[in-house]
Amino acid sequence: MFRTALILTGLAFTLSSVGAADLPRTHHKTVKVGDLDIFYREAGPKDAPVVLLLHGFPTSSQMFRNLIPALADNYRVIAPDYPGFGQSSMPTHDKFKYTFDNLADVIEKFTEKLELKEYSLYVQDYGAPIGYRLAVKYPERVSAIVVQNGNAYDEGLDNDFWKPIKAYWKEPSSIDKREGLRGFTKLDATKWQYTHGVKDTELVSPDAWTTDQYLLDRDGNADIQLDLFLSYGSNPLLYPKWQEYFRKYQPPVLIVWGKNDQIFPPAGAEPYKKDLKTLEFHLLDAGHFALETNGDEIAELIRAFLAKHVN
Q: Which residue has the higher pLDDT, 7 or 141?
A: 141
234, pLDDT greater than 80: yes
- Rounded to an integer, the average pLDDT of 57-69 is 98
227, pLDDT greater than 60: yes
267, pLDDT greater than 80: yes
How high is the pLDDT of residue 23?
Answer: 73
- Rounded to an integer, the average pLDDT of 62-76 is 97
In a domain, 278, yes or no: yes
Residue-range definition of the domain harbouring residue 145: 25-309
In a domain, 12, yes or no: no
How high is the pLDDT of residue 20?
Answer: 52
11, pLDDT greater than 50: no
240, pLDDT greater than 90: yes
State pTM to two decimals.
0.93
How high is the pLDDT of residue 21?
Answer: 54
In a domain, 287, yes or no: yes
In a domain, 11, yes or no: no
Please tell me the least confidently modeled range out of 11-25, 140-154, 297-311.
11-25
Confidence of residue 10 (pLDDT cuts 50, 70, 90): very low
In a domain, 277, yes or no: yes
Which helix (H) or strand (E) segment holds residue 280: the answer is strand 279-284
Q: Which residues are catalytic?
A: 288
In a domain, 10, yes or no: no
- Angstrom CA distances, 147 to 89, 121, 236, stand at 26, 8, 17
Closest CA to 306 of 74, 136, 138, 104: 74
In a domain, 3, yes or no: no
In a domain, 271, yes or no: yes
pLDDT tens digits along 114-136: 999 999 999 999 999 999 999 99
For residue 126, what is the domain's CATH number? 3.40.50.1820
Count the domains in the chain: 1
How high is the pLDDT of residue 7?
Answer: 35
Q: Which string of DSSP letters, residue by residue, matches 95-107?
A: TS---HHHHHHHH
Closest CA to 40 of 91, 99, 116: 116
